[in-house]
Structure 1
Amino acid sequence: MMKTTMTIAAACALAAGPALADHHSGTAHVAKQTIMPEDEQARAFLEQFGFSEAVIHGDTIYLSGVIAGPPGEGMTEEEAYDRAFGYIGTVLTRAGSGWDDVLDLTTFHVDIEASMPAFAAAKNKVIEAPFPAWTAIDVDRLYSADGLVEIKIVARVSRMAPAQKAMPEGE
């Protein structure tokens, strides 16, 4: 009986293998596209460290983190966050998406309690119901020593991205 059960289990595992491989190979052949900054200095920085502003794979867009720095002279903290969300909005647009397409928001706060009121006010100007998933994490510091919050987004593509803005991998 044990030998028959083992034979059936092995046959099921072998039969499932090709089905699983076909399922996964369907997405493996989708070319990934990258979004890079239009500004030459910003692009050089990303190339120096080897990352993209955003990556599109299938119908999903993965944005690299955007650091909201301290408010400039005469700015409020909320306005500094507005500026970061404005930049993210332009990247989403270039990738063929918008704020309604945001699926996941991950934020890294140097001081979560101090930053949350102004951050939430700025976030709520661009993100409306139905709300995306959101994880807020308190950290010791960000790459930019004076950064307050880093914002990372995953969104879906809602329309075709402009061809000149997105580059297939390897170009």
Structure 2
Amino acid sequence: MQTGLNIAAGLTLAALAATGAGAREAPPKQVLMPEDAGARAFQEEVGYSEAVIHGDTIYLSGVVAGPLEGEEGMEPAFTRVFDHLTRTLERLGATWDDVLVFDTFHQGPMGPQLDALVPVKNRYIKAPFPAWTAVGVTELYEPTALVEIRLTVRNPAAGEE
């Protein structure tokens, strides 16, 4: 894997047949943790990674968006989230072109959120577009969040092995 990434080795998975015949070790799962010490401590306490790299796929944990005090509308929150996701993709050696799946989870009326989300998304995501599923939910982990964005990404480093 590329040097300079904040990636820690994770668990090694084994595919074992009951008889042991044909058993082989799967490639190790790797994780990406936040560079920020406070965010890393939180994720370690709660027990999740910013991203999991396994084979040719990278799974990014959801990133929440909500307006800060005094902000009008959701556009500034979405810009913060997309900037954060861009930095995470860069740390993984990926770009928005590598995004395969773009999932959004919306608390509250979805229409106004999508009206604010789409113009921001379109500044980052260009054709050919990833698959996108927008889901309405009753609650998100962060109480002030209105939207959570999760990505599934092609691992560009997988072709280098």
Fold in common (TM above 0.5): yes
Q: 1:87 to 1:72 in 2, by over 3 A?
A: farther
Once the two structures are superposed, the pairs formed by residues 76-95 of structure 1 within 5 Å of their partners are: 76-95=73-92
Partner of 1:152: 150
TM-score normalized by the length of structure 1: 0.74
CA displacement at 1:146 relative to structure 2: 1.1
Q: Which runs of 5+ in 1 are unaligned?
A: 1-16, 161-171
In structure 2, the residue matched to 1:169 is: none
More strand by percentage: 2
Contact 1:109 1:136 in 2 (8 A): yes
Match of 1:141 in 2: 139
- The DSSP-based 3-state class of the residue aligned with 2:156 is coil
Specify every segment of 5 or more residues in structure 2 that has no aligned partner in the other structure, as ranges: 1-16
Look up the equivalent residue of 2:56 and give its one-letter code: D
Cα distance in 1 between the residues matched to 2:111 and 2:93 = 34
Distance 2:72 2:154 in 1: 32
* Bigger share in helix: 1
Q: Is the counterpart of residue 46 in structure 1 residue 43 in structure 2?
A: yes
What's the secondary structure of 2:127's corresponding residue?
coil
Report if the CA contact (8 A) 2:62-2:150 is conserved.
yes
Q: Distance in 2 between matches of 1:30 and 1:46?
A: 24
What percent identity do the matched residue pairs reach?
A: 48
Does the aligned pair in 2 maintain the 1:106–1:151 contact within 8 Å?
Answer: yes
Aligned-partner residue type, residue 142 of structure 1: L
Higher relative contact order (CA 8 A, sep 6+): 1
- How far apart are the structure 2 equivalents of 1:96 and 1:75? 34
Aligned residue pair count: 138
